[in-house]
Amino acid sequence: MPSFKTLRGDIASFHDALKDSKRVLALCGAGLSASSGLPTFRGAGGLWRTHDAVSLATPGAFEADPGLVWQFYGYRRHMALQAQPNPAHHALAELARRMPGFQCLTQNVDGLSQRAEHPRAQLQLLHGTLFDLICANKRGCRYSRVDDFTDPVTPALAVPTSGADPTTNEAREVAQDLDISDINVPLPGLSPEDLPRCPKCKKNLLRPGVVWFGEQLPVKVLDNIEEYLDEEEKIDLILVIGTSAKVYPAAGYVGRARDHGARVAVINMDENDVPAGGWKEGDWFFQGDAAEIIPALLKPTIGEVAVPARV
Ligand code: BJW
């Protein structure tokens, strides 16, 4: 028995629509990775120490306190590397393999879709990735390094563990990462010498290759999406998965897909997270955990999802 609720439409009509679909989009957000243990931005999980996570995702925050912003991103890199893709990441990757007209637009920077082996040509990273490092002087120096999974990025960015003697059994149980998103866990202040420096210009710091507020999304990604939208054939469906759909231009793709004929299926925990422009006839809303709902929605097309033990 599924534990999710169907608040609009029904699963049988969704399955019928999917079977007849050739061109499908997904717009994914942090809720896709929630059941992998990664926090979302807004709502309960969106506080990092005393900071609203969104307020750390700006060029101004990095300029004001690069040490704090690097501690936030160093922690997020560490957490993402510990996490595993969940059945929804695997189901979307399988849909991509089976449906050439499927494109997944993800706002997530955690690398979990890539680790679920989502075909790269069908995965558009709207907000970049935690695992690219770029020169903070983006326009001047242009240095970038892709797929850098070093953890910690510098010794000072190591996530502290409980300092207990690791040779005792008792300590083994407690010798785990401290949760530095909790303000009660002390964190040292860092100076620029503790942070990664650009090896090319040697003047500026490196920063994560993610898109902060006020920054342009990667031009190649925007072009790929425009090319997809410009194709003559209509878009059949857009799945709006685990996103509050409040951040643009990402949120605008729901309306763009509708303009090209798409019906909209929202998969979200929160019934108030309605796409911009509101509901239209023929939409679906499945309320609950994306990790459970996506495999159930895609099952007639992709079969049972195989989740490898550890990737
Ligand atoms: C579950 C679940 C479970 C939980 N299962 N569901 C038009 C109108 C108004 C403003 C603008 C506009 N166009 C541009 C702007 C400005 C701005 C913007 O959008 N502001 C808004 C806040 C109004 N946009 C920008 O600045 C963008 N840049 C830009 O437009 O540049 C123009 C330009 C052109 C040329 C030159 C220069 C500039 C950039 C936006 C970048 C956003 N960056 C961040 C940080 C990325 C790095 C990082 O990860 O740290 O992206 S902010 C943050 O929000 C992050 C996310 O990707 C993004 C979206 O959040 P998401 O994923 O939706 O998360 P939540 O937490 O909001 O929602 C989670 C959802 O999951 C909830 O609904 C839960 O209920 C649900 N859920 N558990 C299913 N188990």
Is 110's C-beta closer than 6 angstroms to any atom of ligand 1? Answer: no
Q: Is the CB of 248 under 6 A from ligand 1?
A: yes
- Point out the residues that are catalytic: 127
Q: Report yes or no: 15 and 6 within 8 Å, Cβ to Cβ.
A: no
Given a contact cutoff of 8 angstroms between Cβ atoms, the answer to whether 68 and 278 are in contact is: no
Closest C-alpha to ligand 1, atom 54: 247
pLDDT at residue number 199: 97
Contacts of 217 (CB under 8 A, 6+ apart): 126, 127, 211, 249
Burial of 7 (0-12, 13-18, 19+ CB in 10 A): middle
Query: To 10 degrees, the CA torsion angle through 294, 222, 120, 214?
Result: -80
For the stretch 20-39, pLDDT in tens is 999 999 999 999 999 999 99
Beta carbon of 213 within 6 Å of any ligand 1 atom: yes
Q: Are β-strands 102-106 and 123-125 bridged in parallel, bridged antiparallel, or unpaired?
A: parallel
Tell me the C-alpha distance between 147 and 171, whole Å: 34
- Over residues 109-138, the pLDDT tens digits come to 999 999 999 999 999 999 999 999 999 998
pTM of the entire structure?
A: 0.95
Which stretches of the chain drop beneath a pLDDT of 70? 1, 163-175, 311
Ligand 1 atom nearest to CA at 29: 62
Q: Does residue 210 line the site of ligand 1, with CB under 6 A?
A: yes
Whether residue 192 is preceded by a cis peptide bond, meaning omega within 30 degrees of 0, is: no
Please report the DSSP string for 182-242 in residue order.
STTS------GGGS-B-TTTSSSBEEEEEPPTTSPPPHHHHHHHHHHHHSSSPP-EEEEES
User: What span, in angstroms and rounded, lies between the C-alpha atoms of 220 and 295?
Assistant: 30
Which residues fall within 8 angstroms of residue 186, CB to CB, at 6 or more apart? Answer: none
Nearest ligand 1 atom to alpha carbon 43: 66
- State residue 232's pLDDT score: 97
E-strand stretches of the chain: 5-8, 24-28, 47-48, 51-52, 102-106, 123-125, 128-135, 144-145, 206-210, 237-241, 263-268, 284-287
Q: What does the alpha-carbon distance between residue 40 and residue 107 come to, in Å, rounded to a whole number?
A: 11
Residues recorded for the chain: 311
